[in-house]
A = this chain, B = another copy of it.
Amino acid sequence: MKTTLDCIPCLFRQALETARMFSKDPTVHERLLKDVLGWCRDMDMNKPAPVMGQRIHRRLRRLTGLKDPYRRAKDAQNKMALSLLPGLRRELARSGDRLELAARMAIAGNIIDMGAYGDIGLKGVHKAVQHALAEPLRGGLPAFRLAAKKARSILYLADNAGEIVFDRLLIEELGPERVTVAVRGHPVLNDAVMADARAAGLHKLARVIDNGSDAPGTVLEETSPEFKALFKTADLVIAKGQGNYETLSEAPRRVYFLFKAKCPVIAGRAGVALGAQVLARSGRG
């Protein structure tokens, strides 16, 4: 989806937060904001907003020499999510519809977002889980259930650290032998990379690949040949999080998107209320 004018204030907010994760030096923060001011002036609004996020992270990596200042936060997020896993499994065991509840839990995990108005604290995550348990998924569930039943191969695009532990529950329900999990190819924000898939234990359960790209979303043309081939041929593609929705909602195949609508622009585009749990599918394919 395109970048809207409403994304501009939010991009600056995120740029400043990101700069502060990379460095305590105010000259770095100011330098980055000046860069972003220039980029935004000439930007192609037809490109999705995560492309700007990618550019911001690239510049900060160059300015500071740091590769992954979010690593410690991601470790903490994985640990927190793993501590919730036994309780979530008990809820699943009690459930009459395990696939739906596992999907809702995977969406609840999407609250752990350091980009767009997420919440990385235990309290916010607990609240999201309670919300997920209480509020049924509307809309795309029957089609998703059918697609999941029929698929021989499933490509599962992970989003954030911590969240990827919640994803494990849905992957287990889907049947991990059919699933390939794709994480980001390079650290960006608190997005999950290979280390996070391992922390969640996914490597023992399913095939895990990285997508070869450093975008906080899935910019198809930048992904690895292996990823591109899987994206094209998998019977079912499941994409987690807003960044994947923004970058893949117009992809040339059907994709099922699972995310919490944390920003008003995306909620509006998906036709849901802010904060809603979304299971949407792209029109094509």
Contacts and interface: CB of A to CB of B under 8 A. Distances in A.
Interface of A: 5-6, 8-10, 12-13, 16, 26, 29-30, 33-34, 37-38, 40-41
What's the number of copies of this chain in the assembled complex? 2
Given A37-B37, A38-B41, A41-B37, A9 B10 contact: yes
A29 B5 contact: yes
**Secondary structure type dominating chain A contacts:** helix
Contact of A34 (B6, B10, B29, B41): B41
A44 B29 CA distance: 16
A6 B29 CA distance: 10
Given A5-B33, A9-B10, A34-B41, 17 more contacts: A5-B16, A5-B30, A6-B16, A8-B12, A8-B16, A8-B33, A8-B37, A9-B9, A9-B12, A9-B16, A12-B12, A37-B37, A37-B38, A37-B40, A37-B41, A38-B41, A41-B41
Nearest to A8: B12
B26 A5 contact: yes
Nearest to A32: B5
Nearest to A40: B37
Q: Which 7 interchain pairs have the tightest Cβ spacing? A: A9-B12, A9-B13, A37-B41, A9-B9, A8-B12, A37-B37, A37-B40
A8 B33 CA distance: 9
Contacts of A26: 5
Contacts of A38: 37, 41
A33 B10 CA distance: 13
A10 B9 CA distance: 7
A30 B7 CA distance: 12
